[in-house]
Amino acid sequence: KKGSASLVDYKTLEKATNNFMDDNILGEGGFGCVYKARLDDNLLVAVKKLDCASQDAVREFENEVDLLSKMLHPNIISLLGCSTHGNTGFIVYELMQNGSLETQLHGPSHGSALTWHMRMKVALDSARGLEYLHEHCKPPVIHRDLKSSNILLDANFNAKLSDFGLAVADGAQKNSIKLSGTLGYVAPEYLLDGKLTDKSDVYAFGVVLLELLLGRRPVEKLAPAQCQSIVTWAMPQLIDRTKLPNIVDPVIKNKLDLKHLYQVAAVAVLCVQPEPSYRP
Ligand code: ACK
């Protein structure tokens, strides 16, 4: 961690993960399973485990450790330590007791438990985290995969950005990186031209704002290829609000599900040109 480097002993973590029971699994992260663990000093933490790793997973693991170890901000997940051993490794984070925003908004048990006041606070916290990445990190960091499942909530529902496996800190690399991110959150200019800037994160943040407002996922249960073709085709048209009605015909011809298209349309239109009179 910035100013107080901490290497957690591999044996300690291995022992902790061996003791895991099913209900200690918090979920599946970018490159591995995330567990709840108790360290020797009784501190409860979250541990992401890298197992039988592919090259991509190792790269994401190293990237996450490298970037997070240089960051310190109340709205960025705290890295407590890490450990590697051959092809396995652990990253230890502060435990975020209320899981992700995505689970809070869309999960089976929570429904719409977040009040409007809490949603506003989540929006503000996330914006502060993003501002830190773009304005205060040197060099600036682009998250590249901002979405509700990467916004975590602590015991007091403070929101923190997480999952920096795909993030980039070096502006010079920006255009050579293969297209990645999550459909539904990817900015149109990045999807169409591979143009990546800090505004790509701002676009994704706009989608998260829409989720907070509507309580719905931006694009739901759509095959990636189908989703990509909708987004690629629809986005340029949607930039101009007046062309919105043109969307319907080609979509029917292509037998794509209108419900999904309207979600993409709503996201695009509201993000590109927010409606001042819009009310949740
Ligand atoms: O939505 P969730 O409950 O919150 O499920 C996902 C899953 O692991 C994969 O990311 C949860 N998770 C990730 N990091 C943490 C953390 N530091 N504290 C608590 N839960 C976490 C996340």
Give residues with Cβ within 8 angstroms of 139, minimum separation 6.
169, 170, 171
Binding residues: 49
* Gap from CA of 36 to ligand 1 centroid (Å): 9
Binding residues for ATP: 49
pLDDT score of 244: 46
pLDDT tens digits, residue range 13-64? Answer: 666 655 555 568 888 876 778 989 887 777 889 999 887 668 888 888 999 9
Task: Kindly give the number of the ligand 1 atom that is closest to the alpha carbon of 26.
Answer: 8
How would residue 79 be classed by pLDDT, with cut points 50, 70 and 90?
A: very high
Q: Is 162 in the pocket of ligand 1 (CB under 6 A)?
A: yes
Task: Kindly give the number of the ligand 1 atom that is closest to the alpha carbon of 93.
Answer: 17
224, 231 Cβ separation under 8 angstroms: no
pLDDT tens digits, residue range 241-250? Answer: 444 445 444 4
Which range is least confidently modeled, 116-130, 160-174, 180-194, 239-253?
239-253
pLDDT score of 232: 63
Task: Kindly give the number of the ligand 1 atom that is closest to the alpha carbon of 104.
Answer: 1
Q: Could you say which of 145, 163, 193, 201 is catalytic?
A: 145
pLDDT at 274 over 50: no
Catalytic: 56? no
Q: Find the helix or strand (DSSP H, E) in which 151 lies.
A: strand 151-153
pLDDT at 134 over 90: yes
Write the residue with the smallest CA distance to atom 1 of ligand 1.
100
pLDDT score of 137: 95
What percentage of residues in the chain have a pLDDT greater than 90?
32
* Gap from CA of 206 to ligand 1 centroid (Å): 22
Which amino acid, residue 174?
A: K
The residue-averaged pLDDT of 207-227 equals 70
Which residue among 34, 47, 114, 148 has the greatest number of ligand 1 atoms within 8 angstroms of its CB, and so is best to mutate? 34
Phi and psi angles of residue 142, each rounded to the nearest 5 degrees, phi first: -105, 125
Write the residue with the smallest CA distance to atom 21 of ligand 1.
99
Tokens 């973590």 label which residue?
13
Q: Is 26 in the pocket of ligand 1 (CB under 6 A)?
A: yes
The residue-averaged pLDDT of 74-93 equals 89
pLDDT score of 55: 83
Tokens 């539904």 label which residue?
184
**What is the residue-wise DSSP string for 6-52?**
-BPPHHHHHHHHHT--GGGEEEE-SSSEEEEEE-TT--EEEEEEE-S
> What is each CA distance from 124 to 29, 121, 168, in whole angstroms?
24, 5, 23
* Gap from CA of 37 to ligand 1 centroid (Å): 12
21, 70 Cβ separation under 8 angstroms: no
